[in-house]
Amino acid sequence: MKEIHSNINIIGGGLIGASVAYSLSLLGLKITIIEKNKPYQSKNHEDTRTIAISEGTKNFLAKIDLWPQIEKFAQPIEKIKIIDRKPSNELKFDNKRRGSNLGYIVKNKEVLNALYKKLRERKNVKVFNNSSVKSFEFEDDTISTFLDNKSLNSSLVIAADGKNSYVRKVFKTPTFKKNYKKSAFVTTFTHSKNHNNTAYEFFYKDGPLAILPMLNFNNEFTSSIIWTNNNEYLNNLAEIENIKLSQILNKQTQKSVGTISKILTKQIFPLTAHLNTSFYENRTVYVGDSAHSFHPIAGQGWNLGMSDVESIYNLVKKYRSLGIEVGGNSFCEEYHNNNFYNAYRLYQITDKLDNIFKSQNILFSLGRRLGLGFIQNNKKLSNFISDFAMGIN
């Protein structure tokens, strides 16, 4: 069996796995990536979803010289409007006081394109595609990851293999789980009215509907929708003709972006959330969806994954500067301590917000109206929420 040695071995080459690989390669480490799929090619990438990049994540992407490759595909969000059922119950956010945007909307594939272009330029990064992990073994200061015909020996494994993490199953890491028994309907479309760099979030009894501004498509105003609703309803919605779908979406979006002209893409994803009880095992740490996933109500899931990436980057940099082993128990435990609370907080916030806003109880409805008004008139609280959306608190 062929033996390959690296400093850090990453399981999963998606958005988070590729991000952590690229960032750590800048520190001079030898990096290996195990990816179960074929080599990434933009033309074969069928996922039409977008990600919301917070200002905090953008700052880290700029720090590692990745933002310039992404920025030209990014639609800034200057304002966010939250609407509880009807426009009279509205809450508005902007970030004029800081002179920056609240975030950016980018297609997944554009971020992957930028990442893999950078990774191909890094001679200290090796990607093993069409590969699946068979087992792990530990010996002194090494963890060996076994594939079919080779073993990858490293001092640390980073699990970035998603919600259904194989690594998590191997180590039997316990999780908190929630199945919302709903799905998220994701569609991109063109529309008649300029979105003016504004994102919307409508709260209905069956779940939130978010409208995210995008760059123009063929010189037409373009946005995407993420709509949480019942599984059966959304499955039926995906099957109807686009003309009828446009009529339904026009009603649900309350013509906030005018009339929908053309449906460009549509996908459905099951809605679940989870949180690992621990973000590490023996010489192994979990990042992104392998560690946590959330209800999309706050749109911060990917940004928290990138916060994991930045945390590992800073931790590796710190330990190497002090001459301390990367991958040992103290390293893994410090990573957990730095990141678990933020994930736990977001897990609780998104779950409770979903319950509060979907409730039809008259007292909850009154409380929401009073609460939205209070937040709108309380600058300190409004600014705190804006900073949370930006990923800087």
- Kind and range of the H or E run holding 364: helix 362-377
Q: Kindly list the domain boundaries of the chain, sorted by start residue.
A: 2-74+108-177+273-390, 179-272
Cα distance between residue 359 and residue 53, in whole Å: 29
Q: What is the pLDDT of residues 157-202, one digit of tens each?
A: 999 999 999 999 999 999 999 998 999 999 999 999 999 999 998 8
Greater model confidence, 382 or 93:
93
Cα distance between residue 335 and residue 337, in whole Å: 6
Beta strands in 282-341 (DSSP E): 284-286, 292-293
- CA dihedral (163, 387, 76, 355) in degrees, to 10, reads 50
CATH class for the region spanning 2-74+108-177+273-390: alpha beta
Residue 46 pLDDT: 64
CATH, domain 179-272, list 3.50.50.60, 3.30.9.10, 3.90.1310.10, 3.40.1380.10: 3.30.9.10
Across 72-86, 109-123, 270-284, least confident range: 72-86
Q: Is 237 exposed, middle or buried (0-12, 13-18, 19+ CB in 10 A)?
A: buried
Q: What is the pLDDT of residues 205-258, one digit of tens each?
A: 888 899 999 999 889 999 999 999 999 999 999 999 999 999 999 999 988 999
Q: What is the pLDDT of residues 260-275, one digit of tens each?
A: 999 999 999 999 999 9
Is the pLDDT at 136 greater than 60? The verdict is yes
pTM as predicted: 0.88
Mean pLDDT of 34-39: 91
Quote the percentage of the chain above a pLDDT of 90: 67
Residue 99 pLDDT: 61
Across 68-82, 346-360, 373-387, least confident range: 373-387
Residue 15 pLDDT: 96
